[in-house]
Chains A and B, each alone.
Chain A
Amino acid sequence: MRKTLLPPELESAREEIEGYAREYGLDFFPILYEVLDYRTLYETAALGGFPIRYPHWRFGMEFDQLIKGHVWMGSTIYEMVINTNPSYAYLLEGNETVTQKMVMAHVTAHVDFFKNNMWFAHTNRKMLDEMANHASRIQRIIERYGYEVVEDFIDTCLSLENLIDYHAPYIKRAEAQTKQPLVGEEEIPLVQGLKVDHEYMQSYINPPEFLHQQKRKIDEDRLKQKSFPESPQKDILLFLLNYAPLERWQHTILEIVRNEAYYFAPQGMTKILNEGFASYWHSTIMTQRALKASEIISFADLHSGVVATSGGRLNPYKLGIELLRDIEDRWNKGKFGKDYAECDDIQAKRLWDKQLGLGRQKIFEIRRLYNDVTFIDEFLTPEFIAEQKLFTFEYNRDTDLYEIASREFEEIKQKLLFRLTNFGQPFIYIEDANYNNRGELFLRHRHEGVDLQWNYARDTMHNLHKLWTRPINLETMIDERKRVITFDGIEFSERRLD
């Protein structure tokens, strides 16, 4: 990576900001800033913040869209930072010093979050090298097998990129990686019942129902063992890596795509919390310490831009910072726990203040242990929702418009959690890899009230078939009816299950 030293005034701004951050108790990796012109900044943004990625058209598309957004809509990227140690962060050339200071404060908090949040604990902090490594490996494969073949295969893998188990790094799942023979030689265990000393006791100790029950259990166990995988698998990419008939180079590429997907996953899991945390800190550091009187207007303008909501849109920066501030206030005043929850007096609740001063401590605790789902689940309150004017919206078929549907706490919370859980993506498991005893793949979509988008699902099944090479079956619901969709490599067919 090209090393540009910060110009002196920015270097001193960096020292100043990082000094304040440390005083507040932030704990971060060293940060290497680089000042880029807007084109290079957008280019880097298109590559996901990394200077070197493997060649793929979607980076070009991303770049095209970013530049257009910049030129036509005036949208600007202020801040970009990547989760590595040391962390790399980029500043836009020509921004006012106050802007750069605010960005630095924001970035410093992000890096603290990367370093301390448990969901990032398993990420590769040398990802810069890893990405470059991926790039050169794929480049070598391209040289050997040709650009279009490899591109087509990357497209296929990327289409399955979200079929991973976001919690896998934190849980030891049984048999995710065990390789088992599909059909094993085995002795069928006999039903013996409990040991009986005297023959005449047999019918008392092992009555026929008991023996029958035992036999059924053994049969079930055997059936279970025969089914492969033994339990449903969510990390479909891993399953394909282990069992799909891939060539070596294909295996390499699929592994790279999976690896990068897992690297980016925690950032998706903590978007609201991470952005909220960074905005909380840039606001705190700037307003309490770093701002000069002459910079206040510029800062206010910038900050309000960051947390603006328009057209009913939910802004993760806004939701995050407001919820954190709400929590800080509640923990400062002791507005939590049994006493507070059971208090019926609205006036007393409003004026509740036990002067605990635990707010800041709570915020640091949250940044260590929570992700978006647990953050929203635990701390969203009806008062907060009313104050922030949150609502749910639904699509109205008659008018072809989205309409405000509810302002009820439970509904909003549920919908918000639904959109955050598993990144708001459908849960799909591999249930059987030897379906019909013909090596077909059987997937189940755990339907939670929302259908899959069909044109996309079909193309995705197409891509799955490319890797698995045997028919793909998907159980799901379409318009409230249970269906199994099968793609045999040539055409789709549909079977009713109800």
Chain B
Amino acid sequence: MQRVERDLNRFRQIVRGRIKKNLRKYMSHGEMIGRQGKRYVSIPLPQIDLPQFRYGTKQSGGVGQGDGELGDSLGQDSDQAGQGEAGSEPGAHALEVDISLEELAQILGEELQLPNIKPKGRKNIVTEKDRYSGIRRTGPDSLRHFKRTYREALRRQIISGDYNPDDPIIVPRRDDMRYRSWKEVLRPESNAVIIYMMDVSGSMGTEQKELVRMTAFWIETWLRFQYREIDIRYIVHDAEAKEVDQDTFYHIREGGGTKISSAYKLCKRLIEERYPATEWNIYPFHFSDGDNWGGGDTRECVDLLRKDILPKVNLFCYGQVRSLYGSGRFAHDLEDYLSNEELLVISEISDRDDIYDAIKEFLGKGK
């Protein structure tokens, strides 16, 4: 088995290197998000095969077999359709490689030089867990270790000379009995919650939501890698905010104006009611095009952030995406009023190429 294992490992290593090299490209293409499974993503890797002089497939066509009128289509993939090279040449199509989300996160971390997150002061929060790892001589019958008991009995009978190989009857006695026992294991708990907030007012179009979706994919990939358990909550807002599920979050479209404070209020309530800051690592991410109602609303947002949200969270990230109507002032305002807040990260995402940098800014703090 060793032989191909060695080549397989090398192949995986090359794939990894290739993904790393093209990470920026992958991050600005949405293609891998759609291919995400529970634990794996599938990544198309063109040209990992060795280059050779060969014919372009499109021009050459080929010979096939079966029913059909002239002009009937055979599909897009010539390998699928016709002859290839009378079936001899394998691997002429783009390769798809599966990679675990964990490995993808590692690559992301290495490439963006993301520091590992230090969960904030959570050392005193531990969970107790029972693990059945020991053996003792007393216990309830339901925990009897049959094999150990039998072995003890067999050993005793052999020592005492009672054991007859021709008539191997083993009778355990009281002191042969063995029972499983448990130990309490204390494990430091570090749970995290991501609270996504998004402006869904009329000015946020499909492309803007796609930007958010792609950014969110990478945020989740990284945070899932850092924490064992992650809760994700979704809040949408225009002039009012409400909590929704993931699907609605990315597809809902509302009209009307924008009142960002409404979302921050809901976020604050969520933290207070469900995610006490002493037990949870909290990561709110807010995306909007930066247009907010005039007057006091931005003021109110700043107050909410400073007094209620920032003191409780690990990090608060605001991503301002550029919409058809340009970018609003909200990012500037936050910077003006809250420039000294260390836990606030602001990034402007004008197009897909900016996702790479945004991720780097958001997650580069190691909080």
Give chain A's interface residues, CB within 8 Å of chain B: 39-40, 43, 46-47, 51-53, 55-65, 68, 151, 155, 158-163, 268, 271-272, 309, 311-316, 318-319, 372, 388-396, 399-407, 412, 415-416, 418-420, 423-426, 428, 445, 450-460, 462-463
Contacts and interface: CB of A to CB of B under 8 A. Distances in A.
B56 A407 contact: no
A390 B64 contact: yes
Given A46-B4, A155-B50, A313 B65 contact: yes
B63 interface: yes
Interface string B95-131: 1011000000000000000000000000000000000
Nearest to B58: A395
Interface in B29-53: 47-53
A161 B62 CA distance: 24
4 smallest CB-CB distances across A and B, nearest first, come from A60-B7, A60-B11, A459-B51, A60-B8
A266 to B, nearest CB: 12
Given A43-B3, A60-B7, A60-B10, A451 B78 contact: no
B174 interface: no
A323 to B, nearest CB: 12
Contacts of B142: none
29 contacts: A43-B4, A55-B10, A57-B13, A57-B14, A62-B90, A65-B90, A65-B91, A161-B50, A161-B52, A312-B64, A312-B66, A312-B81, A313-B64, A389-B65, A393-B61, A400-B76, A401-B75, A402-B75, A403-B72, A415-B61, A415-B63, A419-B63, A419-B86, A423-B88, A424-B55, A425-B53, A425-B54, A454-B56, A456-B52
A154 B292 CA distance: 60
A312 B68 contact: yes
A63 B4 CA distance: 7
Nearest to B11: A60
B67 to A, nearest CB: 6
A455 B47 contact: yes
Given A56-B7, A404-B68, A312 B55 contact: no
Given A58-B50, A403-B73, A425-B55, A47 B10 contact: no
A391 B74 CA distance: 12
B10 to A, nearest CB: 4
A393 B3 contact: no
A453 B67 CA distance: 30
A64 B50 contact: no
A64 B73 CA distance: 31
B4 A457 contact: no
Contact of A452 (B53, B62, B66, B86): B53
A247 to B, nearest CB: 21
Interface of B: 1, 3-4, 6-14, 47-76, 78, 80-83, 85-91, 95, 97-98
Contacts of B8: 60, 63-64
Contacts of A392: 61-64
A311 B74 contact: yes
A428 B55 CA distance: 12
Contacts of A454: 56
A77 B209 CA distance: 46
Counting chain A CB atoms within 10 Å of each CB, the highest count among B6, B49, B61 belongs to B61
Counting chain A CB atoms within 10 Å of each CB, the highest count among B53, B65, B66, B83 belongs to B53
Nearest to A412: B63
Contacts of B89: 423-424
B68 A452 contact: no
A395 B61 contact: yes
Given A395-B78, A401-B76, A314 B59 contact: no
B64 A314 contact: yes
Contacts of B49: 58, 61
B88 A271 contact: yes
B86 A372 contact: yes
Nearest to B82: A393
Counting chain B CB atoms within 10 Å of each CB, the highest count among A43, A52, A159, A314 belongs to A314
Counting chain A CB atoms within 10 Å of each CB, the highest count among B56, B62, B90 belongs to B62
B3 A315 contact: no
B116 to A, nearest CB: 29
Nearest to A395: B58
Contact of A389 (B9, B67, B78, B80): B67
B10 A57 contact: yes
A408 to B, nearest CB: 10
Contact of B64 (A43, A391, A463): A391
B63 A403 contact: no
A415 B64 CA distance: 10
A404 B74 contact: yes
Nearest to B12: A60
A163 B51 CA distance: 12
A151 to B, nearest CB: 8
Counting chain B CB atoms within 10 Å of each CB, the highest count among A40, A57, A68, A312 belongs to A312
A159 B50 contact: yes
A312 B51 contact: no
